[in-house]
Amino acid sequence: MPIAFIWERTGMKTGVKTGNPQQHLLVVGGYGVVGTGVVNHILGMPDWRITTVGRSPAPTHLVDGRVAPPHIQADLLDTESPNADLTKLSDVTAMVFCAYVERESMAATVGPNVDMLANALDRLRQAGSPLSSVVLIGGGKSYGAHLGPYKTPAKERDPRFMGPIFYNDQEDLLQRKAVEMGYEWTVLRPDAVLGPSIGSPMNLLMGLAAYASVSKELGIPLRFPGTNGAWRSLLQATDADVLAQAVTWAITHDAARGEIFNVTNGDNFRWEHLWPEIATFFDMKVAPPQPMRLVDQMADKGDLWQSMVTRHRLRDTPWHKLASWPFVDACLKMDYDTVQSTIKIRQAGFNGCMDTHDGLIRGLSQLRHQKLIP
């Protein structure tokens, strides 16, 4: 679910917001790929307390072994349910909204995703929470990246295109509610967020890891399953830790107030150059690309995966929770450049970056260390 942060007071001379000890951050959608990155980054930082909200139960521990922060299991679309009552959160000072509900069409996603954000804000207002800052997580769909080739590099000032696109409706709601409730807001637009999480509908890292692991188990070389155009296109990604750094920066710096920022690793990549490094990580040979629909090819691999879990003594993660194959297919079939300019956030003072090749291999190493893949 979406996420929002809050910070109390502002240091006008330094441009850095200063807050009281133990700021309370509410992460809505705390265990998707974005929320997991935020929780991993912020948990344990001095003067911060975290609560997560999500439809599913929270794990007792994070993937890195640390004890998970307090969690409220609530469906923010079921406003009649007592579990959706956030009114006891009377001391929340910041919120990050990164929740997402998948539907059968873009038009159908608008209502529920906007309603979740509205309900979260309304519950905090009813609770009397001293909310002072909200960070909304958007994405490349704001530029039409899901529709086909678009103007690149895309900039935050580019005009909107014809909807439906729920990001626009969420941004409009966020700004209207800010006038009513008095909080500061920031919108961050990452692209292809890479990080460890289980059960996330938009997790490319886990999809790549599962596909490569199964290929190796079958004794076949690692083939790029996307299109030939995607193999050579200029692409970008956002490491979950870089995005979490940007969230923290947005909460604590005046330059982020009332602004929309693209957030990526700061570099670009092509699959034709990155793929051999993935194969090397898995100690596999590379074969020429073979376009395929992973949603079909991976449909019968559940039993094989379960045998791999037993043989390699992995965490017992259900096959259907490892990856969303329609999402992985979509990512690997983008046969056009996807490039967002990050000059605006750099000029505002955020300098977090990551070599995408290094970040992806680091992410795979984390999955292996955490016994999620062989």
**DSSP output for 2-46:** --EE---EEETTTTEEE--SSEEEEEETTTSHHHHHHHHHHTT-T
Residues 306 and 325 in one domain: yes
| CATH at residue 139 | 3.40.50.720
User: What pLDDT shows up at residue 7?
Assistant: 34
Alpha-carbon torsion, ordered 185, 197, 226, 359, to 10 deg: 80
- The answer to whether residues 257 and 174 touch, using CB atoms and an 8 Å cutoff, is no
Residues 204 and 107 in one domain: no
Q: How many domains is the chain partitioned into structurally?
A: 2
**Could you tell me if residue 78 is inside a domain?**
yes
Q: At what angle do helices 204-217 and 302-312 cross, to 10 degrees?
A: 80
The model's pTM is 0.92
**Could you tell me if residue 42 is inside a domain?**
yes
Q: Which residues pair with 342 in a beta bridge?
A: none
Name the helix (H) or strand (E) containing 114: helix 106-127
Residues 328 and 309 in one domain: yes
Residues 207 and 137 in one domain: no
Residues 116 and 231 in one domain: no
Among 186, 197, 193, CA closest to 95: 186
Residues 254 and 324 in one domain: no
- The answer to whether residues 210 and 7 touch, using CB atoms and an 8 Å cutoff, is no
Residues 105 and 52 in one domain: yes
- The answer to whether residues 210 and 196 touch, using CB atoms and an 8 Å cutoff, is no
**Could you tell me if residue 120 is inside a domain?**
yes
Reading the block at residue 118, the tokens are: 């509205």
Using DSSP's 3-state secondary structure scheme, residue 51 falls into: strand
- The answer to whether residues 142 and 191 touch, using CB atoms and an 8 Å cutoff, is no
Residues 203 and 249 in one domain: no
Residues 153 and 300 in one domain: no
What is the distance between the alpha carbons of residues 245 and 158, in angstroms, rounded to a whole number?
A: 25
| Digitized pLDDT (tens) for each residue of the chain, 374 residues in all | 333 333 333 332 335 554 445 789 999 999 899 999 999 999 988 889 999 999 888 888 887 888 999 999 888 998 776 666 676 789 999 999 999 998 999 999 999 999 999 999 999 999 999 999 999 999 999 999 999 999 999 999 999 999 999 999 999 999 999 999 999 999 999 999 999 888 787 899 999 999 999 999 999 999 999 999 999 999 999 999 999 999 999 999 999 999 999 999 999 999 999 999 999 999 999 999 999 999 999 999 999 999 999 999 999 999 999 999 999 999 999 999 999 999 999 999 999 999 999 999 999 999 999 999 99
Residues 132 and 96 in one domain: yes
Concatenating the DSSP letter of every residue in 218-271 gives TT--B---S-HHHHHS-B--EEHHHHHHHHHHHHHBGGGTTEEEE---S--B-H
**Could you tell me if residue 343 is inside a domain?**
no
Residues 74 and 217 in one domain: no
User: What pLDDT shows up at residue 82?
Assistant: 64
φ and ψ at residue 127, rounded to 5 degrees: -75, -10
User: What pLDDT shows up at residue 199?
Assistant: 77
Contacts of 318 (CB under 8 A, 6+ apart): none
Contacts of 104 (CB under 8 A, 6+ apart): none
Domain limits at 113? Answer: 4-193+238-262
Residues 244 and 314 in one domain: no
**Could you tell me if residue 373 is inside a domain?**
no
φ and ψ at residue 52, rounded to 5 degrees: -110, 155
Using DSSP's 3-state secondary structure scheme, residue 187 falls into: strand
User: What pLDDT shows up at residue 34?
Assistant: 96
User: What pLDDT shows up at residue 84?
Assistant: 60
**Could you tell me if residue 342 is inside a domain?**
no
User: What pLDDT shows up at residue 19?
Assistant: 46
φ and ψ at residue 72, rounded to 5 degrees: -115, 115
